[in-house]
Amino acid sequence: MDDGMVVATHDVAHRFPGTDVLFEHLNITVRPGETVAVCGPSGCGKSTLLSILAGWEKPWHGTVERHGIGRIGWAFQNPYGVPERTALDHVVFPLLAKGMTRRAAEPQAMEALGLFDLEYAAGRRFADLSGGEAQRLMLARAVCARPDLLLVDEPTAQLDTRTVHSVSHVLGHLAGQGMIVMVATHDPDTRDACRRVIDLAEYAPRGEANA
């Protein structure tokens, strides 16, 4: 990881073709060690902002700087997987894609499962996981390859309060190890556990932009 690593937006605004402007004049700078909650009402553009930060979506206006960022990890809002494959298979897969052997990948994948208290489920089929287990599996898969930038979309929608606290704690711990962690969330507990909050409602256009 690069000490000078940074993710920044410079006067970013976004709208999809044929839709209103979601947010504008967004200037943020995020550095390693930070956990940032991206908040705001449903449909305000939280997931879209994460996609823009990842470079998957080009902003309608402005630029995004990703200095020193190599690997990006992403945990999706809706867990998805291959029903008959095990939880461990899902976490091993990105490591194999990175060129690791299965033998080398498995301990690293088990460590990632352990971070989210999922070792017990390593051998279970994805189809047999509960909603909360599948959601934690997405987190384990996102962090297993030790990304520089971790983008997490609604990580706690299906989790109970105690698990929310433990996931928030792990995300803070990963940031402490030098990751940049950004979390789109509605959940007040998750938001409060983050070091910084970006409220996208504050960047909603006022008046003329959507006229």
Ligand X SMILES: Nc1ncnc2c1ncn2[C@@H]1O[C@H](COP(=O)(O)OP(=O)(O)OP(=O)(O)O)[C@@H](O)[C@H]1O
Binding site for ligand X (CB under 6 A): 16, 19, 22, 40, 42-48, 184
Nearer to ligand X, 45 or 147 (CB): 45
For the bound state, the minimum distance from the C-beta of residue 77 to ligand X, rounded and expressed in Å, comes to 6
Burial class (CB in 10 A: 0-12, 13-18, 19+), 115: buried
Are residues 10 and 62 in contact, defined by beta-carbon separation less than 8 angstroms?
Answer: yes
Nearer to ligand X by Cβ, of 173 and 196: the residue is: 196
Minimum Å gap between C-beta 199 and ligand X is 11
Burial letters 53-79, b for 16+ CB under 10 A, else e: bbeebebbebebebeebeebbbbbbeb
CB of 177 to ligand X, least distance (A): 27
Closest to ligand X by CB, 104 or 201: 201
Q: Which residues pair with 74 in a beta bridge?
A: 151
Question: How far apart (Å, rounded) are the C-alpha atoms in residues 107 and 113?
Answer: 10
Which residue, 50 or 129, is less far from ligand X as judged by CB? 50
In the complex, the smallest distance separating the C-beta of residue 8 from ligand X, rounded to whole angstroms, is 20
How do 23-30 and 180-184 pair as beta strands? unpaired
Give min distance, CB of 197 to ligand X, in A: 14
Nearer Cβ to ligand X, position 40 or 147?
40
Between the alpha carbon of residue 4 and those of residues 58, 210, 211, the distances in Å are 24, 37, 40
